[in-house]
Amino acid sequence: MELFGELGYPAVTVKRLCEQAGLTQRYFYESFADRSALLVAVYERCVDVTRQATVDAATPYPQSPSGVAPDAVPAAARATLGAFLHTLTGDPRRARVMLVEVVGVDPVVESTRLRAIHGWAGLILALAMGERPVSPAQHVAAVGLVGAVTQLLVDWYFTNVSPEPVDIGTSAPTDLDTVLDVCVEMFGATYDRLMR
């Protein structure tokens, strides 16, 4: 995570990884098929840490078979999204790996990233819907929410953290409080319109 999160995946060779870890390349290849396999392992670990924090934040909001109680949705959304944002952005290396370095590397990494997106959507649906059947529209809405949050965080990363800032062509605020407020509103509106 340190090398991928500080230098970027393209800049990190197996030789560099092994030097940093104090291992021989032979040992590396006994554990991983290639660099992208290591990137997948690092990414999955980042997702696991972030997901656990998000799930832990949901525990004060008991679920019935119908999901979180409708009157608790705004507070549950703020708590869970806040934990997600805090954990993902709390370590700039984790943010870079999850938001930037895994995009478009190769089909295996891309498949892993897409599975994670659908896993996040599944978590949203589990909290919102409980055991109720999920319609195709509800599934698409949950995936869309994940995509919206991800893009807001990519913008935040490139305007606030990235060692190579990117001009996104706007002066709109990208602070995390604003991102959280907008995400809570989006989740609440989606719940009210499609998941109640």
Instruction: Per-residue pLDDT tens, the chain, 196 aa: give them.
Output: 999 999 999 999 999 999 999 999 999 999 999 999 999 999 999 999 999 999 999 999 988 899 999 999 999 999 999 999 999 999 999 999 999 999 999 999 999 999 999 999 999 999 999 999 999 999 999 999 999 999 999 988 988 888 777 777 765 657 899 999 999 999 999 999 999 8
- CA-to-CA distance for 77 and 80, rounded, in angstroms? 5
| Tens-digit pLDDT profile for residues 77-103 | 999 999 999 999 999 999 999 999 999
Q: Within a 13 Å sphere around the CA of 87, how many CA atoms are in the beta-carbon half?
A: 20
- CA-to-CA distance for 25 and 145, rounded, in angstroms? 41
The fold of the 35-195 domain, in CATH, is Tetracycline Repressor; domain 2 (1.10.357)
Per-residue tokens: 27: 């040992």
Alpha helices in the chain (DSSP H): 2-7, 14-21, 25-31, 35-58, 73-90, 92-96, 107-129, 136-160, 176-190
What burial class does residue 59 get, using C-beta atoms within 10 Å of its C-beta: 0-12 exposed, 13-18 middle, 19+ buried?
A: exposed
